[in-house]
């Protein structure tokens, strides 16, 4: 399985989001091919030593955002086409936002302060 995934508990990003980001990065880089099966929820949970519900949440969001599809009896696979338009943009923006808010929280900066700063800085 070419999906390389390491969990960083000090990163301030929920584990399910780290899984989500790893899958989307592997798809974007070509490390995970469109015809390759992802590990099952239980396989990945065991490998990462996390609760299967955590992996399930990541897979559910990846499916909702159009990156993967579960095929009953066959497994979970990347979709043949990458999500485009608003769905893809929403997924990318959500990942950026979550990373930024986690980093801001580590420095004692509230989300509202961060948003006000971004609004001041935008052209």
Question: Each residue of 45-92: pLDDT tens digit?
Answer: 999 999 999 999 999 999 988 889 998 888 999 987 665 556 666 766
More confident residue, 123 or 87: 123
State the pLDDT at residue 88. 60
Residue 16 has pLDDT above 90, yes or no: yes
State the pLDDT at residue 90. 72
State the pLDDT at residue 12. 81
Closest by CA to 34, choosing from 88, 82, 90, 92, is: 82
Which class would CATH give 15-121?
A: mainly alpha
Q: How confident is the model at residue 103 (pLDDT cuts 50, 70, 90)?
A: confident
Residue 21 has pLDDT above 80, yes or no: yes
* Confidence (pTM): 0.69
Give domain limits for the chain: 15-121
- For the chain, the average pLDDT equals 85
Dihedral angle computed from the Cα positions of residues 41, 45, 46 and 52, in that order, rounded to the nearest 10 degrees? -80
Residue 41 has pLDDT above 70, yes or no: yes
């Amino acid at each position: 399985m070419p999906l390389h995934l390491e969990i960083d508990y000090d990163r301030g990003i929920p584990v399910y989001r780290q899984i989500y980001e790893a899958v989307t990065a592997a798809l974007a880089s070509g490390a995970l091919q469109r015809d390759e099966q992802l590990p099952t929820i239980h396989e990945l949970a065991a490998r990462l030593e996390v609760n299967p519900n955590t992996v399930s949440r990541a897979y559910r969001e990846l499916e909702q955002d159009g990156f993967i599809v579960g095929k009953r009896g066959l497994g979970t696979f990347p979709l043949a086409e990458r999500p485009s338009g608003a769905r893809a943009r929403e997924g990318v923006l959500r990942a950026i936002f979550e990373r930024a808010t986690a980093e801001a929280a580590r420095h004692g900066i509230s989300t509202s302060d961060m948003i006000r700063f971004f609004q001041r800085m935008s052209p």
